[in-house]
Structure 1
């Protein structure tokens, strides 16, 4: 089902001669050539932020509408370019509310979580603010209310939070550990903190946290993660043979 923001983005594109036809798109500039949604995103997402008829907040909302409509990672790139560029920053409340609302939706948000992971969380200049805006500031409210939408957002953010600096995410991780419904996503965040190239964790604290999680005995890589954390390993890429040693070592 198309969102209201997506409908507005569709109208904005149509005013510029870009319309969806069947399973593709047609741009009036090249009427004889069908275009993919990805091509439309590359051609038009950046133009949103040059539309002088729109205030900055309206530009951000329209960009998120294009994201809803086209489901293209490139749209999130243009949002970040605009925020970090010469005309930025974008209005904070509109920017992060756009992420939060979509992280709570039932529809697939892989593009959005990849954007958080690869662009906002891997950048030390933006990781703390981004993590706080999409989860850290709200974790107590989420634990108190426990609605499906809020838990969906929390789970999605925890899963992709591996690159966030440990000092930033530790309080949120510890709070999330209080709720068994978030133990699976929290485990994935810990696992990514160890395995991702830009992953970040403190092994002693992570080991203590891991011991609190209620996880199935057959959870993939659980024994190996316990072993490397107990050995004080911070990241697979700094100790590439630690996991192999953990697999070979007898477990108590």
Structure 2
């Protein structure tokens, strides 16, 4: 909440304030702006502020809390890869972890992980380790609701992470029944996502340990394509359709 209030004050200093269901700026006081428009117009300016890099990152995450817009995460990533980057890793990844653990919608954060950090081979392994891999043993041991919430969210969007990076994490996560539905969705997107990655035999062994209800949607189809040795929906066109027909 402190970060969100700091972001609200910062926007006010830029001449931007909330108005009804949107925002207005001093430059165009009669034009109602959406949160997305505010994010596109001002989020990048955070990294031009006369603050140290850690405080810039904190302010940017406050803006994310306030606006709940994916574009804010894009500006964070641009700054990390820009001329003044990389950003302080401890502040950057703590910002992601805290929001993944929070009991509020995290779609902007999980979308950022999925389509940006996890799909880029240059950042995927580090990002996955920071948001889950380094902590998976603690998640399984402590089982706090916040840690479980973070683990579920990361597992569900982990499809693009290279199999060699995530396999050991998957094997640890499967020990906890509370994480198995999320792990199943991670395996499913590992097959279906354009950038998804899995090894069929190893993934099949995990699927067979999930102990999900027999009628779980897409469970039979996923097992069918893995038994046939398919690694990815887009590298085995028609395989999923064949599985659907065979399992119907």
Shorter-normalised TM range: over 0.9
Q: Secondary structure at the match of 1:26?
A: strand
Match of 2:125 among 108, 117, 128: 128
- Matches of 1:38 and 1:21 in 2, distance apart? 15
Superposed CA deviations along residues 17-75 of structure 1, whole A, max 9, x for unmatched, are 111111111111222211111111111100000002x1100000000000000011110
Structure 2 runs not aligned, ≥5 long? none
State the match for 2:135 in structure 1: 138
- Matches of 1:133 and 1:214 in 2, distance apart? 28
Q: Tell me by how many angstroms 1:214 deviates.
A: 2.0
Superposed CA deviations along residues 187-231 of structure 1, whole A, max 9, x for unmatched, are 000000001110000000000011110212221111010011011
- Matches of 2:61 and 2:247 in 1, distance apart? 51
CA RMSD of aligned residues (A): 1.0
State the match for 1:202 in structure 2: 199
1:28-67 mapped onto 2 (5 Å cutoff): 28-52=26-50, 54-67=51-64
Superposed CA deviations along residues 110-164 of structure 1, whole A, max 9, x for unmatched, are 1110110000000111000000000000000111100000000000000000000
Match of 2:25 among 21, 24, 27: 27
Match of 2:234 among 237, 244, 250: 237
- Matches of 1:206 and 1:106 in 2, distance apart? 30
1:114 aligns with 2:117: no
Q: Secondary structure at the match of 1:209?
A: helix
1:184-223 mapped onto 2 (5 Å cutoff): 184-223=181-220
Per the normalisation by structure 1, the TM-score is 0.96
- Matches of 2:12 and 2:247 in 1, distance apart? 64
1:5-20 mapped onto 2 (5 Å cutoff): 5-20=3-18
Per the normalisation by structure 2, the TM-score is 0.98
Structure 1 runs not aligned, ≥5 long? none
Q: Tell me by how many angstroms 1:250 deviates.
A: 6.4
